[in-house]
Amino acid sequence: MLAAIVNPGYIIGFLTNMVIFALLGLSLNIIIGYIGYLNLGHVGFWAIGAYTYTLLLMNGTNYFVALLAGGVAAGISGLLLGIPTLKLKSHYIAIASLGFTYIVYSLVINLNDLTRGPLGIPGIPRPVIFGIDFSGDLAYLILSIIIVSISCLIIYILLRSPWGRILETIREDEIASKSLGKNIFKYKIQAFILSAFFAGIAGGIFASFHEYIGGPGAFFLPQLLFILSVVMMGGAGSFWGSIVGAAALMTMYEAVRFLPIEATLVGPTQQASFALVLILIMIIHPRGIMGRKIKTFQK
């Protein structure tokens, strides 16, 4: 047990996962914490990014092109989900976006020729960039940290900018924002594209990290709940919150392994634990560790 903790391979894997979920949490937080909408379609964006990346990469596309294409494909799906839904009321958006998650999931399972359905796609390579081989676990962790840091920096700049301030006015009071001359639909669409784009990037990093994507239950509700928990635990509307949330939740998730329970119970306990955390946060401290009050969730 202790050996597992000090095993560097284990720690590297743990950190890589954490970095990926920090980006997933932060990108979802743009929607939940800044424009104040409960988007349950984020795993769909993530999956679209992961599959686009994988299919391109395995057909010989340049690593960066594949990674960006994953982000762009996810971004476009964000646009397509956003246009019909973003004029709806907040809770309808939650329902519609959950439907989106389900549609993407069914496509992944059923488009056998493309995705190999429930078998998933094994053998996804890790890149060699400018002669540097990133196939080792540590090297890949470093690459992940670099890409996620750049992504987070871009998101940080945007959220702290006047543009980000307008997103916050939408969270605070859409009607007032409109009345000040803000085309709030445009901002919501932009936020959705941005959020989806980085979920797609996270999908690419994720695919090469595990060197495999798919399998039954991948990119579906448990992962959706996990990302939601990252956002809510860290705190909606807080940039650093999502990063802290990812660290806290991953630690908790992994800690379950060291409980004195049977091996077969570890998986279900892990899932139950973060679902429980999500419920407890919403009841006891909806602002999370460092977040703000989101009005739309409290009406």
Q: Contact positions toward another protein, by CB under 8 A?
A: 157-158, 160-166, 168-169, 171-173, 175-184, 190, 237, 292-293
Nearer to another protein, 91 or 165 (CB): 165
Nearest distance from C-beta of residue 76 to another protein, angstroms: 17
Nearest distance from C-beta of residue 154 to another protein, angstroms: 9
Nearer to another protein, 38 or 124 (CB): 38
Nearest distance from C-beta of residue 289 to another protein, angstroms: 16
- How many other CB atoms are found less than 10 A from the CB of residue 222? 16
Q: Which two tokens stand for residue 170?
A: 């939408």
Cβ burial of 204 (10 Å; 0-12, 13-18, 19+) is buried
Nearest distance from C-beta of residue 235 to another protein, angstroms: 12
Nearer to another protein, 43 or 159 (CB): 159
Nearest distance from C-beta of residue 202 to another protein, angstroms: 21
Q: Evaluate whether 114 touches 55 at the Cβ level (below 8 Å).
A: yes
Nearer to another protein, 77 or 190 (CB): 190
Q: Which residue is listed with tokens 């009607």?
A: 175
CA distance 262 to 189: 46
Beta bridge pairs of residue 133: 128
CA distance 44 to 14: 23
Nearest distance from C-beta of residue 150 to another protein, angstroms: 13
Nearer to another protein, 190 or 208 (CB): 190
Beta bridge pairs of residue 282: none
CA distance 297 to 290: 17
Q: Give the dihedral of Cα atoms 147, 151, 152, 155; nearest 10 deg.
A: 180
Nearer to another protein, 55 or 191 (CB): 191
Q: Evaluate whether 212 touches 120 at the Cβ level (below 8 Å).
A: yes
